[in-house]
Amino acid sequence: MMFRFEYPAFFFLLLAVPALLFFVFKRKTQHITYSYTSRLSKIAENSSRMLARVPIILRALCLIFLVIAAARPQLYNISRDIRSSGVDIMLCLDTSGSMQALDFELDGKPVTRLTVVKKVVADFIKERETDRIGLVVFGQEAFTQSPLTMDKGLLLSLVDKMEIGMAGDSTAIGNAIAVAGKRLKDLKAKSKIMIILTDGRSNTGDITPEEAAGAAAALGIKIYTIGVGGTGPAPFKVNTFFGPRIVNQSVDLDEKTLKEIAAIGKGKYFRATDSKELANIYEIINKAEKTEVKVKEFFNFKELYYYFLITAIVLLLLELILKTTVLRIIP
């Protein structure tokens, strides 16, 4: 819920309230003739003088609440009716052991490949407000981390919780394509996209990447592939007898297969060797896969002015009661 005033211009009337108080408090005191002035000595005390000003304070508060009521305070929310099927996107993310290589940087500090992937993917998800997105995590196994959904909060939470090795240490690219394809095959979206990110070579699984890509392409699914990492050995943190050490190890990125998958899926292959390149790749895909989405917004309002109006009436009645009883003045 959000808050607003429908007619905020009425707040200019509040400028009259301080002027009213200044005029009342600074006006000259009226005098009367009375033979026993000692009986009226208490009236001259400061507390009594302040008490005598209570009605004008109540009147000022009444005016303030009337102005607020006139400005029409409202609580509101916005609901959206999306009139387009948009794009359905399955993100297939490699979480195998090689994703712990420390050849990427964030804020000038070396981090694992998966850390950078999680940040870039989260930014990509935030950009696709009107599209359904699903997540497939793969390593030795491949499984659906999230079915297609428009709940971006859920997706961001699941991406944040991804860990290296959660699907095993090997790489089953074919299985990942098959799992993602099953999620997309029966949908009627204008565009169905699969984005596969890996830093290795498919070395396990029940189906080859080429066979899986062919089946997905036959279902009208467009496939983008992203190869992550450099060409040479990558630094890894390993535990030794003398404590944690950084050791360079070779990582086998199969670019040839990733290019073939993208060609079969009528998409494109990208190579990312640092965090900036990876972010640019997702931005390129984001711009390339846009569809016209018709969104109709509905504003739902809850009026709050009557709370302030009732308060103003109560203050006015209280002032009248006080002026005709305990704070009654001599005409």
Among 23, 17, 19, 21, CA closest to 56: 21
Number of folded domains that form the chain: 2
Q: Are residues 161 and 72 in the same domain?
A: no
Q: Are residues 88 and 70 in the same domain?
A: no
Q: Are residues 53 and 116 in the same domain?
A: no
How confident is the model over 176-185, as a mean pLDDT?
94
Q: pLDDT-derived band of residue 329, with 50, 70 and 90 as boundaries?
A: low
Rounded CA gap, 215 and 213, in Å?
5
Q: Are residues 89 and 175 in the same domain?
A: yes
Q: pLDDT-derived band of residue 76, with 50, 70 and 90 as boundaries?
A: confident
- Both tokens of residue 80? 């959206």
Percent of the chain with pLDDT strictly greater than 90: 48
* Position 284 in a domain: yes
* Position 210 in a domain: yes
pLDDT tens readout for residues 107-154: 889 999 999 999 999 999 998 887 889 999 999 999 999 999 989 999
Rounded CA gap, 229 and 39, in Å?
96
CA atoms 12, 17, 19, 20: torsion sign:
positive
Q: Which domain holds residue 15?
A: 2-77+303-324
Q: Are residues 105 and 180 in the same domain?
A: yes
Q: Are residues 94 and 162 in the same domain?
A: yes
* Position 241 in a domain: yes
* Position 201 in a domain: yes
Full-model pTM: 0.65
* Position 116 in a domain: yes
Q: Are residues 277 and 215 in the same domain?
A: yes
pLDDT tens readout for residues 285-320: 888 887 665 666 677 888 999 999 999 999 999 988
Rounded CA gap, 213 and 108, in Å?
37
Report the CATH number at residue 256: 3.40.50.410
Query: What is residue 82's predicted lDDT score, i.e. its pLDDT?
Result: 57
Q: Are residues 49 and 167 in the same domain?
A: no
* Position 237 in a domain: yes
Percent of the chain with pLDDT strictly greater than 70: 85
Q: Which of 15-24, 136-145, 165-174, 273-282 has the lowest mean pLDDT?
A: 15-24
Query: What is residue 24's predicted lDDT score, i.e. its pLDDT?
Result: 63
